[in-house]
Amino acid sequence: MPESLNVLLGVSGGIAAFKAPEIVRSLRGNGHSVRCAMTRSAGAFVTPLTLEVLTEFPVYREEYLQANNSGEELHISAARWADVICVAPATCNTLARLALGLADDFLATTCLAFTGSLLVAPAMTSEMWEKEAIQAHVTTLQGRGVILVGPVVGPLATGETGMGRMAEPDEIVAAIEGTRNRGDLRGRTVLITAGPTHEALDPVRFLSNRSSGKMGFSLAAEAASRGARTLLVSGPVCLPTPHGVERIDVTTAAEMAETVEKLAPEAGIVIMAAAVADFRPESAFESKLKKVSGPPELRLEGTEDILTRLGEIAPNALRVGFAAETEKLESEARRKLEGKNAHWIVANDVSRSDIGFGSEDNEVTVFRRNQPSVTIPLQAKRLVAGRLFDLMQQELEGVEAGMATTGG
Ligand code: PMT
């Protein structure tokens, strides 16, 4: 992928369209070429002239325009020109048209003709975002490899605060920049664990934790989009499988251990983002515990530590653990780095409500052996995943270059 990108910014008709000029300015400031395509209603929110002046290129507005005398249709030449298409804002209508594969305007038609990285930055009210139909379209798009940037919780045009606000321009630009790494993990196999485990108490109850799987699934989506063969071992979560990912569902820590042990020898990178139970009931009650019998006495036993075992079963893989901490982040992470024989521990402070369990965003610090720690500031989990893979790729390339010069 070239250093500078050709970005086609699709602007659809919502109030957040007023941020499109800022996205254009920022992309151009970073050295990228930008063209804009507006839907019919976008012009009510931002003028084509503004975008034309900033991009120094006419705005695409009509479908099926013929390019000057070339006979080539503009949606084809625009799709071939672009390395990335980013639709920001993506309204309900535009999301639906993209999910359904409609070709009823220039932007939708160009997206159909386009084969590169497609990003969408939805913007709408909380009620619209939560509608089953919209969520189904988003799931469909993500399932096809479309990268979702936001939306985020914040002040909305209605005056309320809630989910549905378009991601900020710098986050959208960072996501566009992130697409340059597509393909850099080609030839590598990445094994990722995600989500919680459920440890049965009786046929209807279990011990678990608050992991939603979002961090692990973001890592898997990122790895697959960068060309890795991606194996995702997931505990019980309600998330769609990212495009191009091979997913294996498990329930308990023992099942996760067994599956990881089977797959890890194939992997060059193993990332344990799952919140695996440390303890489970010694045995599960065969029938449902009755309230009238009073609280049961529970005896717990430890589970096998999967990450620690990886040193034996995948000695050559880059072994990355996550650490969910509520205090003493650094000392706990360093203890786990040594104690679990990992190469990296990625620590997050789960006592905060804006990061960690269940949140859209994360902030992590990477602790590595004999190297300074690196903090990845608060941003969407998918972008955190991107930064982590940038660092992993650097480390693996460094190791491989060292092996090549020493003939190893
Ligand atoms: O899923 P989300 O809602 O997006 O939340 C993300 C997250 C907070 C779950 C994630 O970022 C995270 O921190 N995952 C690790 C949670 C955890 O179990 O941390 P720990 O400090 O208890 O364990 C340290 C490491 O050992 C982890 O890599 C864990 O997968 C691994 N482990 C733990 C127990 C066990 N029996 N076997 C293991 O391999």
Q: 167 and 306, same structural domain?
A: no
What CATH number has the domain bearing residue 89? Answer: 3.40.50.1950
Q: How would you classify residue 77: left for phi > 0, otherwise alpha for psi between -120 and 50, otherwise beta? A: alpha
Q: 235 and 112, same structural domain?
A: no
Q: 247 and 355, same structural domain?
A: yes
Q: Which of 129, 162, 181 is a domain's end point? A: 181
Q: Which of 114, 146, 181 is a domain's end point? A: 181
Looking at the domain assignment, is residue 359 inside a domain?
yes
Q: 97 and 214, same structural domain?
A: no
Residue-level pLDDT at 157? 84
Given the residues 30, 209, 316, 370, select the one marked as catalytic. Answer: 209
For this structure, is 93 an active site residue? Answer: no
**Which residues have CB under 6 Å of ligand 1?**
195, 211-215, 253, 272-276, 278, 303, 305-307, 321-324, 336, 340, 348, 350, 356-358
Q: 237 and 140, same structural domain?
A: no
Looking at the domain assignment, is residue 91 inside a domain?
yes
Residue 330 has pLDDT above 70, yes or no: yes
pLDDT digits (tens, 9 = 90+) for 150-167: 898 888 888 888 889 999
What CATH number has the domain bearing residue 345? Answer: 3.40.50.10300
Q: 199 and 176, same structural domain?
A: no
What is the distance in A from the centroid of ligand 1 to the CA of 178?
A: 25
Residue 69 has pLDDT above 70, yes or no: no
Residue 68 has pLDDT above 60, yes or no: no
Q: Measured between alpha carbons, how far is 168 from 158 in angstroms, rounded to an integer?
A: 18
Q: 141 and 237, same structural domain?
A: no
Looking at the domain assignment, is residue 1 inside a domain?
no
Contacts of 213 (CB under 8 A, 6+ apart): 194, 195, 196, 234, 235, 237, 239
Q: 194 and 170, same structural domain?
A: no
CB 150 within 8 A of CB 165: yes
Q: 341 and 249, same structural domain?
A: yes
pLDDT > 90: what percent of the chain? 76
Q: Which of 181, 207, 228 is a domain's end point? A: 181
Looking at the domain assignment, is residue 121 inside a domain?
yes
Domain of residue 309 covers 189-406
Determine which residue's CA is closest to atom 13 belonging to ligand 1. Answer: 324
Q: 282 and 385, same structural domain?
A: yes
Looking at the domain assignment, is residue 146 inside a domain?
yes
Ligand 1: residue of 208, 261, 303, 322 to mutate (most ligand atoms within 8 A of CB) is 322
Partners of 284 in the β-ladder: none
Q: 118 and 193, same structural domain?
A: no
Determine which residue's CA is closest to atom 37 belonging to ligand 1. Answer: 305
- pLDDT category of residue 183 using cuts at 50, 70 and 90: confident
The total of structural domains in the chain comes to 2
Mean residue pLDDT across the chain = 92
Looking at the domain assignment, is residue 150 inside a domain?
yes
Atom of ligand 1 nearest to the CA of 253: 36
The dihedral built from the CA positions of residue 328, 329, 334 and 338, taken in this order, carries a sign that is positive
Residue-level pLDDT at 399? 82
Q: 371 and 243, same structural domain?
A: yes
Q: Convert the chain into a string of H (helix), E (strand) and C (coil).
A: CCCCCEEEEEECCCHHHHHHHHHHHHHHHCCCEEEEEECCCHHHCCCHHHHHHHHCCCCECCCCCECCCCCCEHHHHHHHHCCEEEEEEECHHHHHHHHHCCCCCHHHHHHHHCCCEEEEEECCCHHHHHCHHHHHHHHHHHHCCCEECCCEEEECCCCCEEEEECCCHHHHHHHHHHHHHCCCCCCCEEEEEECECCEEEECCEEECCCCCCHHHHHHHHHHHHCCCEEEEEECCCCCCCCCCEEEEECCCHHHHHHHHHHHHHHCCEEEECCECCCEEECCCCCCCCCHHHCCCCCCEEECCCHHHHHHHHCCCCEEEEEEEECCCHHHHHHHHHHHCCCCEEEEEECCCCCCCCCCCEEEEEEEECCEEEEEEEEEEHHHHHHHHHHHHHHHHHHHHHHHHHCCC
- pLDDT category of residue 2 using cuts at 50, 70 and 90: low
Determine which residue's CA is closest to atom 20 belonging to ligand 1. Answer: 323
Looking at the domain assignment, is residue 25 inside a domain?
yes
pTM exceeding the 0.85 threshold for the entire prediction: no
Looking at the domain assignment, is residue 237 inside a domain?
yes
